[in-house]
Amino acid sequence: MLKYIIILSIFSAVQLVVASETLSYVAEPSQVYIAPKPANISTLLDFIDSRDDLSNLSKILREPAGFARAFDTAPTWSFTFFAPSNEAFEHTGAYFSSFATTPKGKWWIGNLINHHYVPNSKLTTSNFNTHLSRLQTASYLYINTFVHGSGEIKINNVATATGPDNLVTSTPSENISRSLKGVIHIIDRILDPSAQVFESDLPKVSQTFIAGSCSNPNIAYC
């Protein structure tokens, strides 16, 4: 019985601590490892920060923990990023601006940014085609894509790649064909993961496997 009471009181103490903790990030420990960034490399973050038309994105990706640092590394993997322009942020409305500033809103922004990132595949306009196809992002959810008559990529039938095929993570001194790991397409609307429509009948854009994603083609939702 005594044991039970002790366990119970520890449990309530833990509950009390959990209940009184506000939703906030723990400060980053000082000894955390930071991958060295080669000199003269242009990272995804450098690209975003260098563009006036991406200033909203530059600000917003500094809200959820870790994104600015992750985007500032020189990756050894390929990637594709759909960068929402300031025009995209003009089409967000009151829900976005009120929710984005809350602690939970910051986590949601993290998911939102993940939904614009495709790891392990460098997809330039030539990798997309005129058939409506689907593509898996780092959120594990799908977006759909097609190239319309004028040659622009259209995503989820709403966003247009107004600034396609920007290559990053190069150093002038390096072998360019080897070092250009990433491609960025600037788009004019945000891709919202909560608005995903799962279209299993659409063909998939050819892409490299994303670790942790569903890989069994015999399961209908993979």
Ligand X SMILES: *[C@@H]1O[C@H](CO)[C@@H](O)[C@H](O)[C@H]1NC(C)=O
> Among 11-19, 131-139, 159-167, 174-182, which window interacts with ligand X (CB under 6 A)?
174-182
**Residues touching ligand X, count (CB under 6 A):** 12
Contact between 89 and ligand X per CB under 6 A = yes
Name 104's bridge partners.
Answer: none
Figure out which of the listed residues 73, 86, 114, 162 binds ligand X, where binding follows CB under 6 A.
86
d(CA 60, CA 67): 10
How many alpha carbons fall within 13 Å on the CB side of residue 119?
A: 16
| Residue 62 beta carbon to ligand X: minimum distance, rounded to whole angstroms | 12
Contact between 92 and ligand X per CB under 6 A = yes
Q: Which is nearer to ligand X, 67 or 142 (CB)?
A: 67
Q: Which is nearer to ligand X, 91 or 131 (CB)?
A: 91
Contact between 156 and ligand X per CB under 6 A = no
Helix (H) or strand (E) segment spanning residue 159: strand 159-168
Query: Cβ–Cβ contacts within 10 Å for residue 187, how many?
Result: 26
d(CA 208, CA 143): 15
CA distances from residue 177 to 65, 182, 209 in whole angstroms, order as listed:
32, 11, 22
- What is the dihedral angle through the alpha carbons of 89, 90, 94, 99, rounded to the nearest 10 degrees? 10
Contact between 39 and ligand X per CB under 6 A = yes
Contact between 178 and ligand X per CB under 6 A = yes
Figure out which of the listed residues 15, 40, 200, 206 binds ligand X, where binding follows CB under 6 A.
40
The whole-angstrom distance between residue 4's C-alpha and the CA centroid of its chain comes to 46
| Residue 132 beta carbon to ligand X: minimum distance, rounded to whole angstroms | 29
Q: Where on the chain is the footprint of ligand X (CB under 6 A)?
A: 39-40, 55-56, 86, 89, 92, 97, 172, 175, 177-178
